[in-house]
Structure 1
Amino acid sequence: MDLQLQDQVCVVTGASKGIGRAVVETLAAEGAQVVAGARDVRSLTGLDRVTPFAVDLSTADGPGALVGHAVATHGRVDVLVNNVGAARVRLEGFLALTDADFAASMELNFYAALRATRAAVADMLGRSAPGAIVNVGSVNAFFQPDGGVIDYGAAKAALGNLAKALSQELAPKGIRVNSVSPGPVATDLWLGEHGVAATIAAASGTDPETVRSQTVAGGIPTGRFSTPEEVATLVALLASPRTANVTGSDYLIDGGLIKTVTP
C-alpha cells in the first residue's frame, strides 16, 4: 500500500534508536523527507532521505529548534512524531521520589512533545496546510498504573490528555492528532543493559531474561514483546493521508495485554 508520504516533511523526536529509529527508517522508506532529532545522531548519519539534527529535547528551546531546523531545511513541516521519552524504574517507593524526579520525567516525556507540537502547529497553521501529529504514548498511562514507573505513567497520561484536547481544536483546521500506546517493546528501555528488566532483576536477585519471560507469561497472549518496526508501521499509517479522517484516537500495540473493553 502506498501511504502517500512521498516528499512529506516529517520530524521525529528521540530518533537515534529503538522506536524512533524504526519510525525514521519506515517514513524514509515511504519517500518522506525526515528530520531526525536526538542528542547523539551518529547512528543516523548517511541514511537516505534523513537529516540528522543533534539536540537536547529535554531543554526548553530544544524541540522548537528541531522543528525550526526542519522548516529552514525543507520549508515546512507536514508530520510530527513525538517519540522521545524514557522511563526509570522506581523501586524505592513513592516517598523516595522528589519534585525534581517528577519534573525531569515531565520535561522529557511531556514537555518535549508539548513544545515540539506548539512549534509544528504554528508552522502548519501559518501555511493553512493539513498536518499530522502522532504521539508515542504508553499503556502505563492507563493500564494498571505501575508505581515502579509512577512519574513516567503520569507524564504519558498528560500527553494522552493533551492529544485528545488538541485533536478537537485542530481538526477543523486540517491538523490531525493521534497517539500510539505500546505495551512492552523490544528496545533498550526494556531490554538494555540498564533497562527495566535489568533493574528489576538486580533488585530481585534474578536475571533479566527471567524478568522478560515473567512479563510475557504474565499476560501477553502473543507470547512476545512488540518490535520497534511494528510500532513504527502503526505510526506511519496514522501519519498517512490514507487515515485522513482519523483524529483523537489512541491505538494500542500490546500483543493483547489489555483485555478490557474501552467504553
Structure 2
Amino acid sequence: MDLRLNGRVAVVTGGSKGIGLAVVRTLLEEGARVVAASRTRGPGLDALAGPGLVHVPVDLMDPGAPARVVERAVEEYGGLDVLVNNAGGPPPGVTLPRFGFLTPGDGDWREMFEFNLFSAVRAIRAALPHMIARGGGAIVNVSSGNARRPVPMNVDYSAAKAALNNLTKALSEEYGPQGIRVNCVSAGPTVTDWWTKEGGAADVIGAQAGAGRADVIEKIGPEMMQLTTGRLAEPQEIADAVALLVSPRSASTTGADFVVDSGFLKQF
C-alpha cells in the first residue's frame, strides 16, 4: 500500500532506537524526509544515513529542545507535515519498574511528566504554526496501555500517559477544523531497550522471580501481564500503526487511540 508520504517532512522524537527507530525507518521507506531527535545518534540511525534523514542531538528534558528540533526540520526541508512524539518511558538515568505509590517522590514525578508529557506538549506547541501554514498535518503521540490499565507499579508513568491521551483528544477537537489530525498509539509491552538492556525491566523482574532476562521477556513477562498473543510486541508493529495514522490514507481518523498491545487491554 502506498501511504502517500513521499516528500512529507516528519519529526520523530526518541528516534535512535526501539519504536522510534522503527518509525524513522518506516517513514524513510515511504519516501518521507525525517528529522530524528535523541540524545545520541546510535548505530541504528547510522545505518539509515542519507539525504532524507537529519539527526538532532538533544535532551528532551531541556524545555527548549523540542522547539529546536522543529525549527531544524523547517530549516532543512522548508516546513513540517508530521510529528511523532515517541520519546517516553523511563527518564534518562531512571530504571523501571518501580513498585508502589510511595516509592517515587516529587522529583521522580516531575521528571516523569517532563519526559512523557511536557516534551510532547512543547513539540506540539512548536509544530502547530508550521502545520497550519501548510494547510494541515498529522500528529501521533505514542502512549501506553498503562494509561487505561493502571496498576500499583510505575504509577507516575501511567498518570503521565493518561494525561497524554487526554491531550490528544483535546487537540484533535481544537485543530481538526484546521486540517490537523491528532491520534495516539497505545503500545503494550514491547521488545525495546526498556526491557532488554542490562539492569532494565527484565532484570528487575527477573531478580524478584529468580529468572534470567530471556525467560522474563519470552515467558514470565507475557504470563504476568496476561498477553493474549503470548509475546511482547515488536517495535515494527508499533511503527506500522504510526505510519498508517500519519498517512493521508487515515484522513478521517482523528482523536483515536490505536491500541497495539498483544491483548494487554482486555477490559477496554
Asked if TM exceeds 0.5, the reply is yes
Contact 2:81-2:134 at 8 Å conserved across structures: no
Question: In structure 2, how many angstroms separate the alpha carbons of the residues matched to 1:245 and 1:214?
Answer: 39
Aligned partner letter, 2:25:
E
Q: Which residue of 1 aligns with 2:213?
A: 208
Question: In structure 2, how many angstroms separate the alpha carbons of the residues matched to 1:248 and 1:2?
Answer: 23
Aligned partner letter, 1:102:
W
Question: In structure 2, how many angstroms separate the alpha carbons of the residues matched to 1:227 and 1:33?
Answer: 24
Aligned partner letter, 1:47:
A
Question: In structure 2, how many angstroms separate the alpha carbons of the residues matched to 1:101 and 1:123?
Answer: 33
Question: In structure 1, how many angstroms separate the alpha carbons of the residues matched to 2:239 and 2:49?
Answer: 17
Question: In structure 2, how many angstroms separate the alpha carbons of the residues matched to 1:33 and 1:91?
Answer: 38
Please report the RMSD computed on the Cα atoms of aligned residues, expressed in angstroms.
1.4
> What are the within-5 Å matches in structure 2 for residues 14-163 of structure 1?
14-43=14-43, 44-45=45-46, 47-48=49-50, 49-87=52-90, 88-91=95-98, 93-125=100-132, 127-143=133-149, 145-163=150-168
Aligned partner letter, 1:186:
V
Choose from 146, 164, 186 the match for 2:169: 164
130-139 vs 86-95, which deviates more?
86-95
Question: In structure 2, how many angstroms separate the alpha carbons of the residues matched to 1:54 and 1:171?
Answer: 31
Contact 1:57-1:63 at 8 Å conserved across structures: yes
Question: In structure 2, how many angstroms separate the alpha carbons of the residues matched to 1:17 and 1:186?
Answer: 11
Question: In structure 2, how many angstroms separate the alpha carbons of the residues matched to 1:67 and 1:197?
Answer: 34
Residue deviations 1:14-61, cap 9 Å, x none?
000000000000000000000001000143235232111111111100
Q: Which residue of 2 aligns with 1:226?
A: 233
Given the two structures, how large is their TM-score scaled by the length of structure 2? 0.92
Alpha-carbon shift at residue 207 of structure 1 (Å): 2.4
Identical pairs, percent: 47
Contact 2:100-2:154 at 8 Å conserved across structures: no
2:170 aligned counterpart, secondary structure: helix
Unaligned runs of 5+ in 1: none
Contact 2:97-2:204 at 8 Å conserved across structures: no
Contact 1:19-1:232 at 8 Å conserved across structures: yes
224-233 vs 80-89, which deviates more?
80-89
Q: Which residue of 1 aligns with 2:4?
A: 4
Question: In structure 2, how many angstroms separate the alpha carbons of the residues matched to 1:137 and 1:91?
Answer: 18
44-53 vs 62-71, which deviates more?
44-53
2:154 aligned counterpart, secondary structure: helix
Alpha-carbon shift at residue 78 of structure 1 (Å): 0.1
1:120 aligned counterpart, secondary structure: helix
Alpha-carbon shift at residue 221 of structure 1 (Å): 1.8
Contact 1:15-1:21 at 8 Å conserved across structures: yes
Alpha-carbon shift at residue 229 of structure 1 (Å): 0.6
Contact 2:99-2:152 at 8 Å conserved across structures: no
Alpha-carbon shift at residue 96 of structure 1 (Å): 2.9
Given the two structures, how large is their TM-score scaled by the length of structure 1? 0.94
Question: In structure 2, how many angstroms separate the alpha carbons of the residues matched to 1:53 and 1:178?
Answer: 24
Question: In structure 1, how many angstroms separate the alpha carbons of the residues matched to 2:8 and 2:118?
Answer: 25
Aligned partner letter, 2:123:
A
Shift in CA distance, 3/100, structure 1 to aligned 2, threshold 3 Å: same
